[in-house]
Structure 1
Amino acid sequence: MKFRRPRKAVLMVALVVTLALLCCGGSVTVLLLNGVINDNERSFLNASLGCGKGGAVDPDSKMPDISGYNASQIRNAAIIINVGSDLGLPPRAWVIAVATAMQESALVNLGHLGKRNDHDSQGLFQQRPSSGWGTPAQVRDPVYASTKFYSKLQTIPGWDKMPLTDAAQAVQISAYPDAYAKHEPLATQIVNMLADGAANAVGNSVAMECAASGAVAASGWTIPLKGPVGSGFRSRSRPNHQGVDISVDKYRPIFAVASGVVSMVKCDEDFRGRKTCNVDGYPGKGGCGWMVEIIHAGNVMTRYCHMVQRPFVRENQQVAAGELLGRVGSSGNSSGPHLHFEVHLGNDRSSAGATDPVRFMQQQGAPLGNEE
C-alpha cells in the first residue's frame, strides 16, 4: 500500500487574513467571512507562522536517526502521524498516538507472540481482535490500527485538554495507566522531527499567536503567563539565579505550564527562618515566598515563586496544562511584583538540576517573554 502524504492546506478565496507577524511572538489575526477556521487552514497558518508546519515525511523516504529506534520503528511513527493528519486531527493527537504506540509496542508492528502476548493483543497499539478492534490482519495494518486509535480518542470528552497519559489510558484501558507519560517528551520530539515542528503548533484559536497566546502547544506545554523576561538565568550580574523573572502586575494569574502532579506548596522561609509570606518582601529577605512545584512527564520539575497569597492548589493534586495555580505577588526575596519561574531536569531541586527556562520553553513550543 502506498501511503499518501498529508493533504496540503489551501486557503479559499473567501478567507481574509491579516498578518501582523513577529514569528510566534507577534500576533496573527485571522478573519474568516464565515467566522470558522478549519484544521487544514489552521495547519497552513501554523506553517506561515513558523510554529509547526504539520504533516509527516513520506514513510517511503529515509527516516531520521532517533536514539533507541531504528528506521522501521520511526517509519511506523510517520504512518501514525500521516493518518492523524489525513483525519484532520491536530498535532496533539499525533503526539498522544505516537506515545501510546511507544509504550504498547515500542513502535514495532507486533504479530501474535503466543504465550508472550497480552491475551490476543497485536499491532502497533496492541489492539485485541477479541475486544472488537478488528480482525488480526486489520489490527496489524498500521493505517487501520492508527485510524481505530484516533476514532476512539475522539470519543473521549476533552481528550485534547487531558494529560497525555489520561487520554491514552481512556482509549487503551491498560493495566498500567501511568506508563504512557514517560514517552511524552520523546514522542513530541519524534513528531517535531517528522512533521517539521508540528508539535509546536497551536490548538484551536481564531486569534492565532502560536503557543505564546496562552494556548497549549501540541507538546502539552504552555506559558505560565504573558510578560517580559527581566532578570535572566544565571546572568553575569546574578550568577546564582536559577530561573527567570517575568515582571507583571500583582494579582495576575499564574498557570501550570504542563500537566503533572503538585509536589510542593509552601511559604518558603526567609534567611531568618521566618514564614512571612502574606506581606511584600524585599531584596535580601531570602526565600521564594508563596511557591508551588510541579513534577511533569520525564521527571521535569517546574517552580513558581513570590505569589501574593496561598496558592490555589494542594500537594499531590493532579493539574492540567493551563490550570490556575495562584496569583503574582512580591513575597519572599523580591523587589517588586513578578513571577520567578524555574525548570529543573531529573526532578533535581538543586542548582545542578536547573536549566534555562527560556531555552527549555522554546523547545516545547511555548516561548517565554511575550507581553500583552
Structure 2
Amino acid sequence: MRVARPRKVVVLVALVLTLALLCCGGGLTVFVVNGVDDEGQNQLNAALGCGQGGVVDPDSKLPRIRPYGSAQLRNAAIIIDVGSQLQMPPRAWVIAVATSMQESRLNNLGHLGARNDHDSLGLFQQRPSSGWGTPEQIRDPVYASTKFYKKLQTIEGWEAMSLTRAAQAVQISAYPDAYAKHEMLATRIVNSLADGAANAVGSSTSMVCAAAGQVAASGWTIPLRAGVGSGFRTASRPNHQGVDLSIGKYTPIAAVASGVVSLVKCDEDFRNRKSCNVDGYPGKGGCGWMVEILHAGNVMTRYCHLVQRPFVRENQQVAAGDVIGRVGSSGNSSGPHLHFEVHLNNDRSSSGAVDPVVFMREQGASLGSDG
C-alpha cells in the first residue's frame, strides 16, 4: 500500500557502489577507493546526499540490494516513507529496517502455522494477542510501521541506544542480540532508498549531514577532530594498517560506534617491555596503550598510543561518542596522535584491515575534519 504523498524518485549515482555490502557469509565487503583528497571526499559526500533528495517512491523501480528482492525492498521503502511522514529522525529508519530484516526478512508474513511464533504477523512479527492490532491491520505495512515507530517514541533515550537495545525495547524478543548483525546492511538500504539519509542527523523536515563529532543516523561518529596524517598502506608505509590523526596530547578519544570493548592493554614493544606510561619513539615498536572495540556486523576498531591507561575495561559496553581514553605518544610513536584502524569480520590481523578513511566516510562520519 502506497503512502498517499508524492515522493521524488531518487537517482542513485555510481558512487553509492562504494557503500558496504553484506556478503552471503555474513561478512562485510568494502569497495576501497584510494587516493581521494579532501575536496574529492566532500564531493563524494555531496553525491551520496544526506537525505535531502527525499525518499524513493515505494511503487517506483527500486535499486537492487542483495540479498533482497523487489518486494522486500518495496517494504523497506514503505518503512522508511512512514518514518519520514511521522518526522522521525533517520536513525529510527535504520532501526526499523534492521528490525524487520531480523523479524521477517522484510517480508509481509501471514500466519506460518506450526512454524509461527505464537500469532506473530507482518513485517515486524507483531502479535494481535499483545495489542498490536487486528491481523488485517498488522499485515498492512503502513499500519505495522506506524505502530513500530509509535512504540519506539515511548522508549526514553532510544536515540542514544545501540540499535539492538532500541529494537529489543520495542520488540521484546527472545533473541535480543539478533538485531545488531543487520545494522550495516540496513544503513546501506536507507542510504540507497533515501538519498544517503543514514549520513544525516535531524528529522525528516530538518535533515542535514552529520557534522564532525555528531552521531550520524548510521550510528557512527568520528573518534576526534583532527586532520589525517600518515595514511593507510601508503607507498612509504605499506604495512601501516590504519591512519594517524595528529592532535595534542590528552585530547579525548571517542568510541566511533556502540559496541563491546574487546581488548585493553599496554602493547609490548619489540623487546617485550611494557613501558606505556612514557612517550615512545619511532622504532620502539608496539601500539602503546590501546583499545579495541567490537561493533555490530563484526567490525572492530582499534585505538593506539593513548597517553595513559584507557578509561574503559574489557567487556564493557560503550555507546557512540563515549570517551574511552586520551591521545598520547606511547609505543611506536614520533609525537602525539591517535593511530586508528578498522577491521572487518573481527579479524585483528592485517588481512582484516580496511582503509578507515573510506569506511568511515561510508558511515557518514568522515575523518579528517579539524573544524
TM bracket, shorter-chain basis: 0.7 to 0.9
- Contact map agreement 2:48 2:195 (CA 8 A) in 1: no
Letter in 2 for 1:338: H
Deviations 1:121-166 (A, max 9, x none): 0000000000000001011110000000000001111111110000
% identity of equivalent residues:
79
* Structure 1 residue 56, shift from structure 2 partner: 1.9
> Residues 180 and 240 (structure 1 numbering): CA distance in 2 closer, same or farther, change over 3 Å?
same
CA distance in 2, matches of 1:6, 1:318: 42
Question: Equivalent residues in 2 for 1:79-94 (5 A)?
Answer: 79-94=78-93
* Structure 1 residue 51, shift from structure 2 partner: 3.0
- Relative to the length of structure 1, the TM-score reads 0.87
> Residues 23 and 351 (structure 1 numbering): CA distance in 2 closer, same or farther, change over 3 Å?
closer
* Structure 1 residue 48, shift from structure 2 partner: 11
User: Equivalent residue for 1:231?
Assistant: 230
Question: Equivalent residues in 2 for 1:1-372 (5 A)?
Answer: 1-5=1-5, 50-53=49-52, 55-203=54-202, 210-372=209-371
- Contact map agreement 2:200 2:208 (CA 8 A) in 1: no
- Contact map agreement 2:50 2:195 (CA 8 A) in 1: no
User: SS state of the match for residue 342, structure 1?
Assistant: strand
Letter in 1 for 2:128: P
- Contact map agreement 2:51 2:208 (CA 8 A) in 1: no
User: Equivalent residue for 1:40?
Assistant: none
- Contact map agreement 1:7 1:86 (CA 8 A) in 2: no
* Structure 1 residue 210, shift from structure 2 partner: 3.2
* Structure 1 residue 214, shift from structure 2 partner: 0.6
> Residues 359 and 6 (structure 1 numbering): CA distance in 2 closer, same or farther, change over 3 Å?
farther
CA distance in 2, matches of 1:350, 1:269: 16
Alpha-carbon RMSD = 2.1
- Contact map agreement 1:23 1:50 (CA 8 A) in 2: no
User: SS state of the match for residue 190, structure 1?
Assistant: helix
- Contact map agreement 2:202 2:208 (CA 8 A) in 1: no
Letter in 1 for 2:93: W
Letter in 2 for 1:172: Q
> Residues 54 and 122 (structure 1 numbering): CA distance in 2 closer, same or farther, change over 3 Å?
farther
* Structure 1 residue 226, shift from structure 2 partner: 0.4
Structure with greater contact order relative to length (CA < 8 Å, sep ≥ 6): 2
User: Equivalent residue for 2:15?
Assistant: none
CA distance in 2, matches of 1:97, 1:165: 11
* Structure 1 residue 3, shift from structure 2 partner: 2.1
* Structure 1 residue 115, shift from structure 2 partner: 1.5
CA distance in 2, matches of 1:85, 1:24: 27
* Structure 1 residue 49, shift from structure 2 partner: 10
Deviations 1:187-222 (A, max 9, x none): 000000001111111248xx9983342110001110
> Residues 166 and 158 (structure 1 numbering): CA distance in 2 closer, same or farther, change over 3 Å?
same
* Structure 1 residue 68, shift from structure 2 partner: 1.1
> Residues 47 and 152 (structure 1 numbering): CA distance in 2 closer, same or farther, change over 3 Å?
farther
User: SS state of the match for residue 346, structure 1?
Assistant: coil
Letter in 2 for 1:75: R
CA distance in 2, matches of 1:52, 1:229: 27
CA distance in 2, matches of 1:4, 1:57: 13
CA distance in 1, matches of 2:79, 2:331: 48
